[in-house]
Amino acid sequence: MFNKVKKIRKTEKRQRFGLLSVFCFLFFMLYSATSNAQCAMCRAALETEEGGVKAKAVNDGIVYLMAFPYILVGVIFYYIYKTRINKKA
pLDDT along the chain (89 residues), means of 10: 63 82 84 64 70 77 86 93 83
Upper half-sphere CA count for residue 23 (Cβ side, 13 Å): 6
pTM of full prediction above 0.85? no
Could you tell me where the DSSP H helices lie in the chain?
2-30, 40-47, 53-88
* Residue 1 pLDDT: 54
Answer whether 87's CB lies under 8 Å from 79's CB. no
* Residue 72 pLDDT: 93
* Residue 36 pLDDT: 58
